[in-house]
Structures are given as C-alpha cells and as structure tokens.
A and B are shown apart, each in its own frame.
Chain A
Amino acid sequence: MNTQTSILVVDDEMGIREGCRRVLAEEGYDIDLAEDGAVGLRRVREKPYDLILVDLMMPGIGGLDLIKKIHEIDPEIIVVVITGYATIETAVEATKRGAYDYLPKPFTPEALAVLVKRGIEKRELRLEARRLYQEREQRLLELAGEKSRLRSIIGCMADGVLVTNLERQLVLWNASAVRMLKLSGTDEPGKAMDHYIRNRALIESLEQVLNSKDDGFSMISQEIRADEQGAVLMAQMAPVRDERGRLLGAVTVIRDITKLKEVEKIKSQFVSMVAHELRSPLAAIEGWLGVVLSGEAGGDEEQRRTWLLRAKERANSLLALVKDLLEINKIEAGKVAQKMESVQVIDVVGKIVEFFKPEAERQHVSLQMNPSVPLPAIQADVQDMEKLFTNLVSNAIKYNVENGSVTIETSLDPHFVGIHVRDTGIGIAPADLPRIFDDFFRVETKRTDGIGGTGLGLTIAKKIVDSHFGHIEVESRPDKGSTFSVYLPCKK
C-alpha cells in the first residue's frame, strides 16, 4: 500500500499500550493509542485504520461490542483481540463476531509483530477483493446501462425493429414497429411471434431466415403492407449470429416507404405525360414531312413550302416545350440554383411590361403599370421573378380580346407584397380553375383555338412562387377577365 499502514491499540492498561507502540513503531507502522472503547471508536471515525488491537476486558464499551462497532464503520478493518484471560470461549466468541485472530497476554514482541504482519497482509487481500468486487459491480452496472441505452436508441428509431429468437418468440421490438405493423398484444411479452404479427408474408420470410442452414445467408428485403389500406413497408430481415456464427434469431428492420412510392408514381405519371406531349408535335412534324416526301404535292412548290412551314411551327412549339421542361427541372432541383437577393420586384415587372409593349400593340391590347401601393424590396431570385412575370403577362396578352387591357397593380400587407396582373380577356370557366396550375393543362375552348402554348407556363409560375414561400391566386370570370395575384413574403 502506498500510504503508511496505521494501527490503533485500544487497551486500558498503559503498559500494554506503550509496549505495543514500541514494538510496532519499530516495524515502521503508524501507531495511535486509545485508553478505552469510546476513545477508540472516536479515533476510528476520524482516521481509516488498517488494523486495531482490542483488549477484550475494558471498562465502558467492552471488546466484543467494540469489534461490532468498528466493523459498522469499516468491515474490512482487521481486529486482533488481546486477552488476559485467554479462554477459548471468549476468543472463539470474538472471532465469531468478526475478530481476525487473538493474542493471549502476556505475549512476546515477536508474537505481536508476526500476528500484526499477518493481519496487515490479510487486510491488503481484503481490500484487493473489495476493489475487484466493486469493479465487477461497476462493470455489471455499465452493462445494464449499455443495454438500457441500446433500448432507448432502438425505442427512438423511426424505423421499426423486431428481434425474434429461434423459439419464434418476439424478444425485442420498438414503438415504430408496433405502429407500422399494427402489432397487437405487445403488453404480454414472451409469446410466439404470430401472436403479435398479423402479416403472413412477414412471418413466412422470418421462418425462411430462421430455418436457413446456410452460413452465407445474409438478408431478405421485401415490400409488405400492414393491412389492405395500410402503409407500404420495406422489411429487411437478417439472421442474428453469435461470435461463432451460430444462428440465434432474426432481426427485422421496417421502413415506411409510402411517400417514396407516391413520389415514384407521380414521377412516372409525369414522365408519361411528358412523353405524350413530346410525341404529339413530333408525330405532326413527321406527318408533314411524310406528305412532302411522298410527293402528295405533285409539282406544287408553294404547297410543299406551306406544309414545311407547318412542320417548322410544330418544331418551334417542341423547342418551347423542352425549354419549359428544363425550366421546371431547374426549379425542382431546388435552392442550389437560386440566388436570393434584395429585389425591387415592381422594377422587374416594369421591364417585362416594356418588353411586351410591342406584342401587346400587335394584339391591340393596352398594357399598363398601375402600382397603386409602393412596395418594399424583397428577397428573391431576379431570374425567377423575370420568368414568373413573363409567363403571367404573356398569358394576359395572349388570352385577351381585341381592344382589351392588361393592368399591373400592387398591394401590401404586414407579411406579403402583392402583385396583381389583371386582364380583360376571355376568362376561365369555374370548372377549369382548379386545374390551371396542373402540368400540361390547357383550357380548350373555341376561343383558345389557335393560341399556342406548352401547358407549363402556370406550372412554372406556381413552382417559382412556391420556391419563394409565397402563394399565387387566380380570380376569373368567363368573358370578363382574369386576375393573377402573386404574394411574396417581405420583412418589414
């Protein structure tokens, strides 16, 4: 031990106390003396002793009581009993009460030194044993902590987790698994897995994992549903093995892929719509080229030229469509492409109005700015704003009437700036209003015949507004006109 070994001698006879001190100090121990039990106990409370010599026969607290009280303070202190009346009975009684050994009076200095040395060795052994014991306790505690941490982690997971043992009992699960698989009866643990799991496909796959004889067998992935209307789940089942590779059970991890499936479906619908939209103009171009090439025009050069011009027109519409599709793709690719800066959005609209003036004149539509309320600058991507208002203004001119007008107005509330594109055009039927922002949707009436478009202009406008955390609204009455209102967030 690195600190000096301390010994306390409790005896009412001064001769014994002093004699012990002399003998033991020579051996290099740190010695304290006490003339009775009460003083002895006080010392023990103040200082950690390794060994205590106790006289059995003392006034006040007797030796046997003292042993008990000492061990209440520290059970590992070695107590050696000194007794003048070396009766076997009392000595046995003392060892029963926890004394380490006894030394009959009178004793020789050698006998004392030998016994104390042995006692100290014993003390060191006891301390070592206690340390090992505590270490083990600590490790067990850590293990228990580890287990409960693991449980907490599994409990918090958004993915469902199920562990099944070889007896087909469900031994571990988390709340996500209960929710996704709609497990029942989990308040009674320890039953066979089919008591909890209703999904046949899952149980069959688990059987397959649990019955596999092949060491190399690694995992089953399969799509399942908790029930008819339930979420679409991806279950991954894998064997659990011990360090020697023996099968212990199976672990199942379940992920809800409903959203993913929906996205996939929307994506594939979009792709087929795009394919159709691309195919129509291409087929028309092919058709015109076909009639030209098969010589249907005979020798009529003018006729051939007319047909080729029709093909060219469709080719142009195809180009416009591809351009819009790329635009949509760019917006959907997200903020990466966006450059947010402080923008006076009404200035952007003003430029676009200037740009469209000649076109409006050709269509006999008057185009004017009437920014009734001054607007603060907002955070926006200038290019996006240009596209947005190009689409809205060009629609307002395109779907207008002879001598109609397009007016740009503004409004402001605590959170949003409002820009309104008001036209006196043909308007939109109430039945069509909910669909006008849909991909490729175009209002088809006699009056829209001959107006070209990709059906993506408003889709793009809406996507731009959405990506700026704003919203777009439309008010329209057939034959009266439409007002498209864009609201974009502003900081005040």
Chain B
Amino acid sequence: MKPRGKILLVDDDPDFLEIHKVVLHNHGYDVLTATSGREGLERVRAEMPDLVILDLMMEKHDAGFSFSKTVKTDPLFRKIPILMVTSVAEATGFRFSLEEDGYWMKTDDFLEKPVSPEVLLERVAKLLRQREEGH
C-alpha cells in the first residue's frame, strides 16, 4: 500500500515521539522523528516531509518558534504545513491562539497536549488535504 504521506515528528519527549509514531504509522503514514529543532531542520532539508508535527517546548523554550520561522520563511519548504503541539499554554500562563499569534508563530494549526489519537489523525488528514488543494 502506498503511504498516505511522510510526516516529521519533532519533540524532545521520546514518549511522545513514539506515541504519535505508533498512531500515525498504524494509519498508513510514513513517520520520521527528530528530538531537537536542529535535527528537525536537517530532516526537513534531507527528506522533504509532507507535514511537520512540532512540540514547542524543546531544549530552549522558543526552539519551536524559531524552527517554524526558519521553515516558513524558506521558499522551498514554506508549503509544508506545521502542526504545533504543546503543553505550554496554561502552565506558563502565556496563552496564544492562531488568530492572535498565528502571524508570527507561522504554524498552520495548533493542538494542546495530550492529544488523543482520533484528534491527531483528523487534524493531520485535514492539513494534508488542504495542502493538496493548495497545489
């Protein structure tokens, strides 16, 4: 069966990498993983994924932001949708939403941890569909 798409997971928590990998893999996606923003960028350049799922709170607290900014300002990769998954919102007291912060966050969608398998699959499918239509 032809894979439904190539997805890059970037997260510093190995459990989340595996959980999301299991779910996506079971539903027919090819999954790549990276544990830091830097490694994530390397894999973007080398493998050209169809979608990136990104955790905001990586080694440095704004690593997620700079990762997405780098990807989104590169003409080669800007079309790759980024789904931001994070647990910062409530805990650190700095809330954000796509409406208010989407401009500078430069991600395409945003989910708060923990993410249930159903919701994850649904968002991934939606972003990939939008990307197809955009082409």
Contacts and interface: CB of A to CB of B under 8 A. Distances in A.
B57 A272 contact: no
B88 A286 contact: no
Interface string A270-295: 00100110011011101110110010
B116 to A, nearest CB: 5
Contacts of B22: 291, 296, 307
Interface stretch (B12-20, B100-108, B124-132): B12-20
B118 interface: yes
A296 B26 contact: yes
Nearest to B18: A310
A276 B91 contact: yes
Interface of B: 12-13, 15-16, 18-20, 22-23, 26, 57, 59, 87-88, 90-93, 113-118
A314 B13 CA distance: 11
A243 interface: no
Place the interface of chain A in its size category. 20 to 34
B13 A284 contact: yes
Given A276-B92, A283-B87, A290-B19, 20 more contacts: A272-B92, A275-B91, A276-B57, A276-B88, A279-B113, A280-B13, A280-B87, A282-B114, A283-B16, A284-B15, A287-B15, A287-B20, A287-B113, A291-B19, A291-B23, A294-B23, A294-B117, A294-B118, A296-B23, A444-B59
A275 B88 CA distance: 9
Interface of A: 268, 272, 275-276, 279-280, 282-284, 286-288, 290-291, 294, 296, 307, 310, 314, 444
Most A CB contacts (10 A, CB to CB) among B93, B114, B118 go to: B114
22 contacts: A268-B93, A272-B91, A272-B93, A275-B92, A276-B57, A276-B91, A276-B92, A282-B114, A283-B113, A284-B15, A284-B19, A286-B114, A287-B15, A287-B16, A287-B20, A290-B114, A291-B19, A291-B23, A294-B116, A294-B118, A296-B22, A307-B22
Contacts of B26: 296
Contacts of A291: 19, 22-23, 117
B47 to A, nearest CB: 21
Contacts of B117: 290-291, 294, 296
Contacts of B114: 282-284, 286-287, 290
Contacts of B19: 284, 287-288, 290-291
Most B CB contacts (10 A, CB to CB) among A288, A290, A307 go to: A290
Contacts of B91: 272, 275-276, 279
Contacts of A282: 114
A290 B116 contact: yes
Contacts of A279: 87, 91, 113
A88 B3 CA distance: 144
Most B CB contacts (10 A, CB to CB) among A275, A283, A307 go to: A283
A268 B92 CA distance: 9
A310 B116 contact: no
Given A276-B57, A279-B87, A288 B23 contact: no
Contacts of A287: 15-16, 19-20, 113-115
B85 to A, nearest CB: 10
Contacts of A290: 19, 114, 116-117
A288 B17 CA distance: 11
Contacts of A276: 57, 87-88, 91-92
A284 B88 contact: no
A434 to B, nearest CB: 16
A322 to B, nearest CB: 16
Contacts of A268: 93
A60 to B, nearest CB: 103
B120 to A, nearest CB: 9
Nearest to B57: A276
Contacts of A307: 22
A307 B23 CA distance: 12
Closest 6 CB pairs of A and B: A284-B15, A286-B114, A287-B19, A276-B91, A275-B91, A283-B114
A279 B56 CA distance: 14
A222 to B, nearest CB: 25
Given A276-B87, A291-B22, A291-B117, A284 B16 contact: yes
Contacts of A314: 15
A275 B90 CA distance: 9
B130 to A, nearest CB: 25
